[in-house]
């Protein structure tokens, strides 16, 4: 018995359009959009009266994707948590990117919160952590090869 791969990561968001735009600006591609509701979904999620809108975004090579989910019902929590990088639990998503300096400069122009400026790790990576939509922490990394 073995795990073959991580299929996707799902992020719950309040503003589906803004979150989608953020990830498209980062370089992901919209692969699918759909809405779901009904008894089957209620049963699977253990909730009642579920209505969702979803967007799947992937890398250009199609190997990795994230799912953005807007819960239309039941209503979501009103506050967005803004965990620190050392808060317990799943804490960040990491993306390998090209031209990290340009990406980070574009994010700064849009007012995205940076944990620091781009930092170089030895001779292997340039890294930067940013706070994305709905408080999600993203690590951006550019290989130095």
Taking the domains of the chain in order of start, what are their residue ranges? 9-73, 92-143
* Percent of the chain residues topping a pLDDT of 90: 68
Confirm whether 9-73 and 92-143 share one CATH topology.
Answer: yes
Structure confidence at residue 69 as a pLDDT band (50, 70, 90): very high
Q: How confident is the model at residue 64 (pLDDT cuts 50, 70, 90)?
A: confident
Looking at the domain covering 9-73, what would its CATH class be?
Answer: alpha beta
Distance CA 117, CA 67 (A): 28
Q: Using a CB cutoff of 8 Å and minimum separation of 24, what contacts does 86-92 make?
A: 91/137, 92/129, 92/136, 92/137, 92/138, 92/139
Assess whether pLDDT exceeds 80 at residue 22: yes
Instruction: Report the pLDDT averaged over residues 126-130.
Output: 95
**pTM metric for this prediction:** 0.87
Position 11 scores a pLDDT of 92
Q: Looking at the domain 92-143, which fold is it?
A: 2,3-Dihydroxybiphenyl 1,2-Dioxygenase; domain 1 (3.10.180)
Kindly report which listed range (40-49, 70-79, 104-113) carries the lowest average pLDDT score. 70-79
């Amino acid at each position: 018995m073995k795990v073959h791969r991580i299929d996707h990561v799902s992020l719950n968001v309040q503003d589906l359009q803004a979150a989608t735009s953020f990830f498209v600006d980062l370089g992901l591609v919209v692969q699918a959009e759909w809405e779901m509701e009904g008894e089957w979904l209620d049963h699977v999620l253990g909730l009642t009266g579920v209505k969702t809108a979803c967007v799947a975004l992937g890398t250009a090579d199609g190997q990795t994707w994230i799912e953005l989910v807007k819960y239309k019902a039941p209503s979501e929590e009103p506050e967005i948590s803004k965990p620190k990088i050392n808060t317990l639990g799943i804490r960040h998503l990491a993306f390998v990117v090209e031209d990290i300096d340009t990406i980070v400069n574009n994010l700064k122009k849009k007012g995205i919160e940076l944990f620091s400026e781009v930092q170089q790790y030895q001779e292997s990576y340039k890294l930067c952590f940013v706070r994305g939509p709905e408080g999600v922490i993203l690590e951006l990394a550019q290989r130095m090869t």
